[in-house]
Structure formats: C-alpha cells, structure tokens
Structure 1
Amino acid sequence: MSEPLTTGGDATGTDTEGGDVTGTDAADRHAALADRAAELDAADKLAAVRDRFVLDGTVYLDGNSLGALSTGVLPRLTEVVGREWGELRIRSWEESGWWTAPERIGDRIAPLVGAAPGQVVVGDSTSVNVFKALVAAVRMAPEGRDEILVDAATFPTDGYIAQSAARLTGRTVRAVPAAEIAAEAGATTAVALVNHVDYRTGRLHDLRGITAALHQAGALAVWDLCHSAGALPVSLDADAVDLAVGCTYKYLNGGPGAPAYLYVRQELQPRFDSPLPGWNSHADPFSMAAGYEAADGAARGRVGTPEILSLLALDAALDVWDGVAVPDVREKSLGLTDYFLECVAALVPAGRLESVTPRAHAERGSQVSLRCADAGAVMRELTARGVVGDYRRPDVLRFGFTPLYTRYADALRAARVLATVLEGTA
C-alpha cells in the first residue's frame, strides 16, 4: 500500500496547505535539517565502522543490491592468490583451511541471523540454495501435503524455483500475499517460501508469527533473508525457522556474485535430503564411492568444489562486523530511513512522490521505496549527480540504507538532490 508523504512545504517555498512561505523559511528549513544531520552523525555509535570501507564522495544508497567494498578484502585476496594459490597451490586445501571454509564462514554469518554454530553453510547461489531448501522441505513434510505456498510479491527467481521444485516433487504452487500466508496455511500445505523483506517496497514481514502459524498447520517454513540479514535482527533459532537462505553481496558486503548461505535447523539436519547431492556433501568425499551417503550436519548443504576466491573475499568482508551489535545496526537503520523520509517530505515538491515503504518500524526493512513518474530517468539523473540508488520498473525509486557506512548527512544530501532533480522535471 502506498502512503502519501506528509510535508511541511516544498523546496521552492510553497506550503502544501496552499499558503506561501518565504525564501527565508526555506533556508531555515534546510539549516534545521543540516543541524539535525550533524547532531545525529555525532551521536552515531557506528560512525567509526565507516572507515572500514572503501568510499568516495558518492552518496551510495544501493547497498541493498551490492554492498560497498571493505578495506580488508583486497589485501586478503592478494594473499590468497599470491601465496595460498600461487605458492602453496593444492596444499592450501588443508594448510590454508580451504576445505572447511563453507562451514567456518557459515559460523561467522550465524550470529547475524540468530543461529547457533553448525547450522549455516556457505556456497552456491541464492537460487540454488532456495531449490535445495524447498525440495528438502517437501521431502520432510508429512505425507499427503501437496501444496507449496509462495509469497505473491516474491523476487521472481524464488517463484521460478518454486515452480520447478513443484514439478520435480509432484506438488502445486499457490501464490499468496505474505501477510495472508499464516491464515492460508492448512492441511494440504507442505511448505511456504517467504521473503523476510520485500525487495521492491522494503516491507518487513512477521517471521516469527508466520513461522508459528505454519508449524501450527503442520507445514515447514523456508525464509529468504536476502534483504534483511546484516540490516536488522534475525532470530532463526529462537523463532524455530526450519530452513533459510540468503545472499551475501548486499548488506553483508561480500562482493558481486558472492556465494549465498543455507541454514538448516539442527533438529532437521538428519532428515535434510538435498536434491543436489554432490561429492562435497558425501560422508566420505574422497572415497569416490558410487553410492551416496550424506555427511552429518550443515555440510549436507554442500554440493561441489567450494568457490574459494569469492568465499575468502566474503570471509574478509565479514571482518567489518567485529565489535558491531546488530541491535545498534537496526536502531541506526530506522533512524536513517525516518530521517530520509522527513527530509524528502520537507524538500521535495508536493505531490511528486508517494512512499510504498511502511512507516511503522515493525513493518520496515532498511530501504525506502518511493513511487515516482519517470523513475528510470530520475534515477539516472540522481546517479549523474552523485547519488546512487536504483529503480524497479515501472515507477519505483529504491534507496537502500546500509547502517555500517551510511551517514545522516548522506540521507540529507540525497533528499536535496532528489528535490532538485524533480524541480527540474516538473
């Protein structure tokens, strides 16, 4: 649902209630917003973390698509390529710990998604892990359950994968709005695939409540965490989530195409029957046995040879989380998005934008999505002026706020440039 932006006046000095304000009033408004940004940045608990990233003068608000490069990645990759690959070569599988990287790095991600060690494995793409999770969930579901529920507003690939999983397992797929999945789950439901945060609108869904309702109906829950992990608290263990997947190149800053992760709740691991068994998930990989015997634990989620360079780049990127508390990240995320919406309402010409991101904190991820005519052209102009977000056709501007490196001053600058661009296209 779209929400109008409540404004106190536009950037040209016309009050939204129809009265005129003076240029002095507009200047005072700008000054007040700048003072608040300075105060908020000065009080920011995460301000020093920004120095752990490679940044420039650009206001980068697209971390919900690709996170910024951290300063530790290039030195680490130089070491991996030059010494571990270049000198140690095959010895690095054991001597440099390459073989255990999927589980070791999974254990580093685990605290960011509220999981105990031994339940997260890193490797393959999000799409591949969604496929593993869905098919395995169907295989674990009680007999006679022939339906897979899918978040109707899901990222398209999740829907494609669900259809493929249904064909493979003889089930059917039914698309349901995420908010209605709890009520729609019933005796025929095997599993539901739900996005924690809607990629288009930034709406945060009720992971705990939906999971509990699915379990009450005797079904399993698979969650897509791509737009939440690293931006807000996730409690997979506490909320008894069955399986979850997520990418690492957004708020976890792992780099373009960085490997995804798969969470399998510990109690379900002995029953996790992957549709993609590979030698890397075999109980005795180097036996080269003709018959497959699954490994114990999260390693069942592995398939083939790990993608070492990208895995170790991710490993280095995760160093930025040292000493960072996820609740502080969430507090700043909500502060940034609140402040950005306030600035947009105060500065952007009235009637030009409509928010599709919920105002309620309990329903908001870490992005602001604004409906705008000619959104593609507007975003291209913003990018040309040093404010980088993205848009989703036909008319949604998306601004992702990564609390580890985004400042309140960045939010203000983005709103000011957006106002200027929209004034020029009036």
Structure 2
Amino acid sequence: MTEAIFDCNPRELTFTARVLSCEERKGEAGESRFAVVLDRTAFFPEQGGQKADRGTLGGASLLDAEINEGVIVHILDAPLEAGSEVEGEVDWPRRFDFMQQHTGEHILSGLANRLYGAENVGFHLSEREVQLDFSVQLSEAELEALEHAANEAIFRDIPVKAYYPNAEELAALNYRQKKELTGAIRIVELEGVDCCACCAPHVARSSEVGILKILSAMNYKGGTRLYIACGMRAVKDYAARIREAQQLSKLLSAPQGELSAAVMRLQEKAMAAEQRAAETALALILLRAEAEIREKAQTQGWEQAEADGICLILPPLPESALQRAVKPLKELFSGVVALFSGDDESGYAFLMFGDGVDWKPFLAELRTRGGKGGGGKDRVQGRLLCRAKELHTIFHDFVIKQN
C-alpha cells in the first residue's frame, strides 16, 4: 500500500520517498520504461476517469502512474535504485488545471442531480477534454439553467471538503457514486451543491474553479453527453471563439452581433447561385442531347439512333443536374442514355437510364475498371476513373450486347 499524499493535501507538490522496487518495461514502440513503486507519493495515478499527474522523480520524468490494489506504480523514462531516497515534484499547472476541471464537474453533476434527477454515468478528464455523460436527456433550456446555476455556485466561494467519514457518518450521508465501493470511502462535498465519493484532488474552494462553460451537448444512449471547460481552459476557449468571430466579422463585413444574419444572407446567395448553375447545367445537357439525337437521326435514321442510344461526355456538372435531366430526356428519346460528367484526371460521375435494360453487366464492367455504382430497374449511377475516349467504347459495347 502506497501512502497517497495527494489524498489529504493536493497542494503538497514536492516530497521525498523511498524506492521500494524498480522494474524495466517495454513501451509500445519497444522503448525502455521503468515501473517504480515508492513507499509514499504525491503523484495522483490514473483512476476514476482522470488521467495521471506528470512531474519528475529522482531526476527522471514521470510518464504515467497507475494504481492496483492500493499500490501506485510510477512509469519513468529512467531507472531509480531500489532502496534509495528520491525527491519528487508534481507538475503544478497540470495538477491545478485538473483540479479545476474535476471540481467543476462535481458542481455540474451535483446540480444536475438535484435539479433534474440526472445521474452522472460517465466521466473522462484528460489534457484535451472533459467529457461527462448524464442518464437523462437535457434540453437546451435546461442546460443553460444548469450552467448558470453552476457558475453561481462557483462565485459563492463554497468550501470543498474532502474527508473519510466513519461508518456511522457514511450511513447518514446521501452521496453520489457510480459503482459499489468497498473499504474506506473518500467523500468530496460542497455544501448545498454536491456530495460524492471521489478519489481525485480538488480545489479548496469553489471560486478556484473560476468559470464553467458547457462547450457542446448531444443526445447519447438515451441521455446527454457534455463537453465542458473550467478555469483557464474556458478562458482560452472563449478567447479562441472571439478571435474566430472577429475574423468572420471582417470576412462578412458585418458586426459580431449580426454574424448569423450575414451568414444567412450568404447562404441565400449561394443557394441562388447553385440554382442558376443547375439550370444552366440542365440546359447544356438538353442542348447536347438534342444535337446528338438530331445528328444520329439524320445519318442513321430514327429507329437505329434509338437502338444505338446516346452517350454524352460532359464537363464537371452538379450531379443534381444529371438527375433533373432524366425526365425531359425520356420524353425526348426512348433509347438508352448515358451521361458522363467530369474529366480524365478526377474521373467521371455517370448516370445511365433506359427501359428494359439489364444493368448488371455494365456495373460489373465498371467494377473491373475500379468504378463503383448501383441503381434500380430503370437507371444506374456511380463514379468511374478512366479517359473520355474509353467511355464511348464502354457504352457502345454494352448497348450492342443488350441488343
């Protein structure tokens, strides 16, 4: 059993300890790592959804720390001599950041439970994110109210009490826990806000959390998954969002308070331009088709033209335009029609249609050439990477086989 200094005093950052054992391990890339056990430590190991502390121990860097049946194992980048006395130092900025995030999570989870009966059923805290899962779905209005209540609790400067109650005291407590616990149970309590079984270091007073912000929320497994930021993480996130808003304001030539309206106007313009482009593309397809049909009818006769079908190689066009062309082309021509849109470098989107056609051989041929596609009885569509001059041959051979 390792004496856990962080349990009682999360601000004791330097300590001395005796090395009980040191064993070499291999890292994921085969590099040497050293698993060290001490008689006492201030380093918090990974547990309860929270990543381990970082720092230095006996001149070596602490890469990770883990706990198993009360024994804390320190993963170092250099060996330490068993039996020696060493000094360790916790990375305080990281420790305090984690303390802020974890205490903020307690405040949010405790209030969610009190206000909405939500249970915290999942928690993950790393350098990059704070993720928590609630057992119930919370609306946007409920999340806004919850965030407001959490920050009010932070501003009230409530003492954060971490202690081990005796059996009688524990039995009288109404506390949160995610799983059945055995042995001594450590309670973290913010009066009127939360009371929860927890092993991690926390700030001394709620005001040290600084600020809490819900960054995003989503429905997850019948409940709600949240990503939050507290303290300096929230400040940095806010600063990043302000910078982004300022950049958008310049790009859109609109005040920050009117960005949504400016984006909507831009979307309307883009949709109108897209509509015009689709109409132009449709007109191009129909003109090319009419010219092809007229030429075939004049040189081969109408019946032969319909038997041979028409194959149009078009520049890159919106695929929606190919779809819109089907109905007017069917009214114009009863044979098989193939529309290929693209270029030799990036490939061609295709749409082929015609009544009474077995499309399976064509799709099989495309797959042998690296293409892909699918469809129904009257049409197929997909994408193919080849040269334009090959498309006429592929289509011509297919039509001959069909006839």
The alignment's TM-score, normalised by the length of structure 1, stands at: 0.20
Greater relative contact order structure (CA < 8 Å, 6+ sep): 1
Q: Which has the larger Rg?
A: 2
Give the strand-richer structure, 1 or 2: 2
What TM-score results when the alignment is normalised by the length of structure 2?
0.21
